Amino acid sequence: MLHVMTLTDEECYVRLREAIMREELLPNERLIEMDLAQSLGAGRAAIRTALARLEQEGLVQRERYRGARVRLISEAEAIEILEVRASLESLVARYAAINATPEDCDGLFTHLAEQQRCIEVGNLLRSSEINGKLHQTLLRIANHATATRLLDMLKPQNVRFQYRTILVPGRPENSLQEHRAIVTAVANHDPEWAETAMRVHLSHVAEALRQARRTRQISQEEGEHN
């Protein structure tokens, strides 16, 4: 008799989370436990546990008698999240500039070099991933527990929108220059400069998201008229 391996609770959570992040499961899409259990090869209990965790992260919305669905995060809310991030990550940049060791700075400059290579060959998805790693490295260097906890709460909602901003013309190259300013300030142990550079960077990310939203609205309007 064959024994079918089922996913653990943690594996089930990771798979569902990734599917939402990549928009394989779309905003407002219903999440039916039985269907998810069959498609993932998981038990109903593991699915239920994963959905509860995802609800805590703000990725899933559950309603009494109506089940669960992928929570719709508007672009307006995403911009608000970026505004909150700007305050927290500016603080992170300040502390990173105070705490950074030579080895920390080498790691940051390595991220910059890799991001530049990705942009040069047109690998924007990988460039976006390196972007995230650079911000996480700054967070580790800053060693600010409260900022880390709050940013971890915001991260799931934010990740789903960051890929849209890199499609704005010129944004990847501008992002690289902004990151270079942040890293240089950190390497020079200049807290004020680091804080300002991070705030400028995230204000530009927010503007890119607004621009992406305007472009989508224009495309939708043109599609309705055609």
In this predicted structure, what is the pLDDT of residue 7? 81
| Domain coverage including residue 199 | 75-225
Indicate whether 3 belongs to any domain. no
Residue 47's pLDDT is 92
How sure is the predictor about 197, in pLDDT bands with cuts at 50, 70 and 90? very high
Residue recorded with tokens 């559950």: 62
Give the domain CATH number at 33: 1.10.10.10
**How crowded is residue 221: how many other Cβ atoms within 10 Å of its Cβ?**
10
Kindly state whether residue 2 falls inside one of the protein's structural domains.
Answer: no
Mean pLDDT of the chain: 87
User: Is 219's pLDDT higher than 70?
Assistant: no
Query: What's residue 1's pLDDT?
Result: 37
CB atoms within 10 A of CB 192: 10
Residue 47 and residue 19 share a domain: yes
Segment 93-104, tens digit of pLDDT: 999 999 999 999
- Taking residues 6-24, what's their average pLDDT? 84
* Same structural domain, 89 and 65: no
Poorest-pLDDT segment among 52-61, 72-81, 135-144: 72-81
Question: How many domains are contained in the chain?
Answer: 2
Residue 6: pLDDT above 80?
Answer: no
Tell me, yes or no, whether 56 and 87 share the same domain. Answer: no
Q: Let me know whether 27 and 122 are in one domain.
A: no
Is 191 a member of any domain? yes
Domain-terminating residue out of 21, 53, 70 = 70
User: Where does the pLDDT of residue 154 fall: very low under 50, low under 70, confident under 90, or very high at 90 and above?
Assistant: confident
The confidence score (pLDDT) of residue 225 equals 63
In a domain, 18, yes or no: yes
Q: Using a pLDDT cut of 90, give the percent of the chain over it.
A: 49
For residues 50 and 87, membership in a common domain is answered with no
Range in 113-122, 129-138, 158-167, 207-216 the model is least confident about: 158-167
- Residue 166 has a pLDDT of 75
Higher-confidence residue: 174 or 209? 174
Specify the CATH number for the domain of residue 106.
1.20.120.530
> Same domain for 156 and 212?
yes
Specify whether the CB–CB gap between 99 and 143 falls below 8 A: yes
pTM for this one? 0.72
Residue for token digits 């200049």?
190
Where are the extended beta strands (E) located within 29-95?
Answer: 30-31, 60-63, 67-70
Domain final residue pick, 70, 96, 111: 70
In a domain, 180, yes or no: yes
Q: Is there a domain that residue 4 lies in?
A: no
Q: Is the pLDDT assigned to residue 211 strictly greater than 60?
A: yes
Distances (CA, A) of 137 to 19, 76, 128, 201: 25, 28, 14, 16
pLDDT of residue 3: 41
Cα separation, 188 vs 182, whole angstroms: 10
